[in-house]
Structure 1
């Protein structure tokens, strides 16, 4: 795994593998950073009193630590300042970033470029913008406009291809109901024109006149909401432009 920063900043949370544990201290390698290690003093292991760190920690164990000092050859790390929720979040993010390394490899193949080159030109930019390159692939469809500001058209297209191939977008689901009415005699044609451009990850289904169901999926609730909001905005505009009335309600 490669990361755009050479080492973390003070206050950052990191995944650390314990390499050497003795009674009063432990050394750890930081997973995202090459040749960067940290030191954990016995006073930073737990909020309760610890007599021997070897009874609390195991060599080879992976855990989450907070960087509390960046001076010196080794960073100073703390375990006791990491709550359970933060630990779960950071570990989950780290696991996803491991998956993203394979995504970068697939992207390199599609672009016919070296993997390191793709990391430097694309992966690191995704990390800076979205915190992890995985999240960049995850929202590639929903945030296409933002990606277009960062990369050329071909690169965005290939990022989206990898996203569709590697990530199941249909996980989180949001549902709603829309009503469209037109006073004109050709209302059915106007409805069809209003629904002729539906984004990927969104489905519109007929219930009974004038009601339609709308369902949006996304890797996260946030992405699903963006999709449903976007399609509702588009349909509302088309209905209005054709002299119709539009209503939307969430399920």
Structure 2
């Protein structure tokens, strides 16, 4: 997606060096439609510059800081030297992420998606999550819930969530805990089995959470949770254990949650 407007003064922009002259460098802005900027030789690098080509080359992708924008003269002044390594790395990553998101838009709505529909959908994602990439990322993690506060049509939400789940790699964390379940009641094994089903959520675990309960050694069971972040993972782990303890308690049994394994063997 390329913006039709103008960059703001102070903004970091990605550009491709198009032309090198003795007095400076012309740069095509990758994020803006038909916009070109100039890096004066004094803004290419710190110190005295004998030959501009010692510092840049045609076709090179660079990150620049916008020094000034004169829309009436269609002039954008840029600086290369005012961008540090950290800023450059972060900006390039953001730009690459938006390119990925642009591709996901085509996957979700077809290569022939009209500009009006594209802009409409993009604006909803930008408004809700700040960028196209983060919009798809949140849809991959939280599903339809991530797009509840948008004006997107149901079929548009479905397409975004489906595409996100198939293409977006999201960071996940894993946490593990243990629950001891003992049941002296006549219900015995059946009571424990019901407690384990309760621990697994009885099919009512959020889409973004993966939860597995396995036998370790009587009376201990392992609960493994995979979630998008530690807060969600810890919450799901504790809730799983709580359900198991409550369920075994209904049969007159005892349950206890702990973080470290107590048996000697797997």
Asked if TM exceeds 0.5, the reply is yes
**Structure 2 residue 207 is the aligned partner of structure 1 residue 206:** no
After TM superposition, the structure 1 stretch with the greater mean CA deviation from structure 2, 80-89 or 150-159, is 150-159
Give 5+ residue unaligned stretches, structure 2: 186-190, 250-254, 261-266
Closer, same or farther: CA 20–191 of 1 in aligned 2, 3 Å: same
Rg larger in 1 or in 2? 2
Closer, same or farther: CA 41–149 of 1 in aligned 2, 3 Å: same
- Aligned with 2:99: secondary structure? helix
Aligned equivalent of 2:226:
216
Q: Assess if the C-alpha contact under 8 Å between 1:137 and 1:159 holds in 2.
A: yes
Aligned equivalent of 1:147:
147
**Structure 2 residue 93 is the aligned partner of structure 1 residue 88:** no
Q: Assess if the C-alpha contact under 8 Å between 2:63 and 2:88 holds in 1.
A: yes
Closer, same or farther: CA 174–41 of 1 in aligned 2, 3 Å: same
Aligned equivalent of 2:6:
7
Closer, same or farther: CA 29–230 of 1 in aligned 2, 3 Å: farther
Closer, same or farther: CA 228–118 of 1 in aligned 2, 3 Å: farther
- Aligned with 1:191: secondary structure? helix
- Aligned with 1:127: secondary structure? helix
Q: Normalising by structure 2, what TM-score?
A: 0.75
What do you get for the CA RMSD once the two structures are aligned?
3.0
Q: Assess if the C-alpha contact under 8 Å between 1:23 and 1:52 holds in 2.
A: yes
Residues 4-56 of structure 1 deviation map (CA, whole Å, 9 limit, x = unaligned): x6222222211111122112211211111102221211222122332332332
Aligned equivalent of 2:230:
225
Residues 48-87 of structure 1 deviation map (CA, whole Å, 9 limit, x = unaligned): 3323323322222211111122234222211112122221
Equivalence map 1:80-229=2 (5 Å) = 80-109=81-110, 114-144=113-143, 145-150=145-150, 151-169=152-170, 172-181=171-180, 185=185, 186-195=191-200, 196=202, 197-198=204-205, 199-200=207-208, 202-208=210-216, 209-216=219-226, 223-225=228-230, 227-229=232-234
Closer, same or farther: CA 228–246 of 1 in aligned 2, 3 Å: same
Whole-angstrom distance in 2 between the partners of 1:237 and 1:141: 28
What is the Cα deviation at residue 140 of structure 1? 1.0
Whole-angstrom distance in 2 between the partners of 1:80 and 1:159: 39
Aligned equivalent of 1:220:
none
